[in-house]
Amino acid sequence: MSTATVPARAPKRGGVTVAASGSNRPSRSRARRSLLTAIIFLAPALFLLGVLIGYPVVYSVWRSLFDASGDNFVGGANYATMFTDPATFVAIRNNVIWVIVAPITCTVLGLIFAVLMNRIRWATAFKLIIFMPMAISMVASGVIFRTLFQENPDLGAVNAGLVSVHSAFSGGSAYPGARPRDDSGLEGTGGSIRSSTSVPTGGSQNFPLVGILGSTLPAGATDAVEAPTAKPTDISGTVWLDFVKGGGGTNGQVGDGKKGLPGVTVDAIDASGAVVASATTANDGTYDITGLASGSYRVGLPATNFAAAYSGVSWLGPTLVTAVIILAYVWIWAGFSMVMIASGLSAMDISLQEAARIDGANEWQVFRRITAPLLSPVLIVVFITLIINVLKIFDLVYVIPPGSSLPDATVIAVQLWTVSFGGGNDQGLGSALAIFLLILVLPFMIINVRRFRMEREQ
């Protein structure tokens, strides 16, 4: 540290001579010469910084006070529009969500990875895998995540995974779109199908259904048969597809190769509407609800039998698109915080922790009182870097959402582009948004300068 700061802040040699003796011609000319050299060395940098960063800041402040045409002074009107216009307000709201969620998630994941990584033999490979997305452009990452989260479960990997997990748990026995054959004594209400009249115990209730493609039946389905006569405490019957390919057969009657519907849940419902017992149909479509108290019941097939097949989640729709984009961001930046924190951990002197443990401190005390404070400078640097970065986020938000959900995903930087280049053509409002962004970053500039000064005074 001392080698880094002493020569930089203590201009002992040249500086002191210049101040002490103005008449000392050799050192005065030397000082003048070093000023000239400094100007030559600095000129290209200062020119580019001045023209491409300095001037634009000043110009933007000025421009933000004028209207879209740039001719009329409007004062703070653009800044007022920013908070009242629904589109820019959504952008500001989303930026707040981003700043709250993304940096914390990245830092916490990075901390967990960095701590756990030291415990495995393939730490280098793990580090490279997590860190690699940092090398990929946000555009390419956007393409990746947009493909992964496509809504069609045949194309989007995430929905494909969800659908297969879902069908593994629900048994995959749904008959979407099935409805009762007309005039079969059945009624369909709210997606469920039930008998129109009550059935006494020992009786039977058949369910001839239509509206299902024969080709979509489960492989195990066999020809439907009449259920055997029910015992006095049972209600039995058959659920079948009341349709013969190529025509023929009698409507409402089994036979002629009509297939039973296996796996359908059948409920017995009492007078109060409560389900008292249920059964599931066999491969030939027969069911037998047993153990019923003597009386009469309505028999019904609940709506779960006929719900449309689960087709995943609309990830890129208006409600979830921001979550997906933040996930893509975390995928890219978790590696950054992991690498930073890992180097902080490895540079740490562990003798303090050892001493505390010998003095009887428990692990939580060691972490809270020693490890965390020692690691906090690194955590703060990571956190601040991520916040500055997240405030300016553009590419991912511009690339991932389909056009229809972009207005719901928009952030300040995207809105700035939209209003001033992407058709809005209002560079007054655009400049106001740019200055707003600059103001948001201002506290972190001050922190940077303070940190720099503190380092130099050490």
Partner 1 sequence: MTVDLGIVKAKRSVAGRILDFFGKGVMNVVLIIVAVFWLVPTIGLFLSSLRSSTDNSQSGWWTVFTRPAQLTIENYTNLLGNSQFMGSFLNTIEITVPATILVVVIGSLAGYAFAWIRFPGRDWLLVVVIVLLAVPLQVSLIPIARLYGSIGLFGSILGVILFHTAYGLPFAIFLLRNFFTQIPGEMLEAARIDGASEWRIFARIILPLGLPAIASLSIFQFLWTWNDMLVALIFTNATSQPVTVAIQSQLRQFGANIDILSAGAFLSMIIPLIVFFAFQRFFVSALLAGSTK
With CB under 8 A as the contact rule, the residue among 34, 196, 229, 404 that binds partner 1 is 34
Q: Which residue, 238 or 418, is less far from partner 1 as judged by CB? A: 418
Q: Which residue, 133 or 260, is less far from partner 1 as judged by CB? A: 133
Residue 20 CA to residue 30 CA, distance in Å, equals 14
With CB under 8 A as the contact rule, the residue among 20, 52, 219, 274 that binds partner 1 is 52
Using rule CB under 8 A, residue 310 touches partner 1: no
DSSP code of residue 315? T
Using rule CB under 8 A, residue 60 touches partner 1: yes
* Three-state secondary-structure class, residue 166: helix
Counting beta carbons within 10 angstroms of the beta carbon of residue 119, is it exposed (0 to 12), middle (13 to 18) or buried (19 or more)? exposed
Interacting positions 211-240 with partner 1 (CB under 8 A): none
Using rule CB under 8 A, residue 333 touches partner 1: no
Residue 231 CA to residue 288 CA, distance in Å, equals 9
Using rule CB under 8 A, residue 133 touches partner 1: yes
Residue 182 CA to residue 179 CA, distance in Å, equals 9
Interacting positions 336-365 with partner 1 (CB under 8 A): 336, 339-340, 343, 353-354, 357-358, 360-364
261-262-268-274 Cα dihedral, nearest 10 degrees: -100
Using rule CB under 8 A, residue 51 touches partner 1: yes
Residue 340: CB atoms within 10 Å: 19
Pair 98, 411: CB distance under 8 Å: yes
Per-residue buried b or exposed e for 387-409, using 16+ beta carbons within 10 Å of the residue's own CB: bbebbebeebbbbbbeeebbbeb
With CB under 8 A as the contact rule, the residue among 27, 28, 31, 317 that binds partner 1 is 31
Using rule CB under 8 A, residue 157 touches partner 1: yes
Pair 138, 395: CB distance under 8 Å: yes
- To the nearest whole angstrom, how small is the minimum distance from the Cβ of residue 202 to partner 1? 51
Q: Give 240's strand partners.
A: 208, 260
Q: In three state form, how does the secondary structure of 374-437 look? A: HHHHHHHHHHHHHHHHHHCCCHHHHHCCCHHHHHHHCCHHHHHHHHHCCCCCCHHHHHHHHHHH
Binding mask 364-393 for partner 1 (x = CB under 8 A): x-xx-------------xx-xx--xx-xx-
Q: Which residue, 117 or 279, is less far from partner 1 as judged by CB? A: 117
Span near partner 1 by CB under 8 A; candidates 51-59, 196-204, 256-264, 271-279: 51-59
With CB under 8 A as the contact rule, the residue among 126, 218, 265, 424 that binds partner 1 is 126
- To the nearest whole angstrom, how small is the minimum distance from the Cβ of residue 56 to partner 1? 4
With CB under 8 A as the contact rule, the residue among 21, 24, 57, 104 that binds partner 1 is 57
Using rule CB under 8 A, residue 108 touches partner 1: no
- To the nearest whole angstrom, how small is the minimum distance from the Cβ of residue 177 to partner 1? 24
Q: Report which residue type is found at 46.
A: L
- To the nearest whole angstrom, how small is the minimum distance from the Cβ of residue 125 to partner 1? 8
Q: Give 279's strand partners.
A: 266
Q: Which residue, 285 or 430, is less far from partner 1 as judged by CB? A: 430
With CB under 8 A as the contact rule, the residue among 41, 75, 196, 250 that binds partner 1 is 41
- To the nearest whole angstrom, how small is the minimum distance from the Cβ of residue 266 to partner 1? 37
Interacting positions 398-417 with partner 1 (CB under 8 A): 398-399, 402-403, 413, 416-417
- To the nearest whole angstrom, how small is the minimum distance from the Cβ of residue 100 to partner 1? 19
Rg (CA), the chain: 36
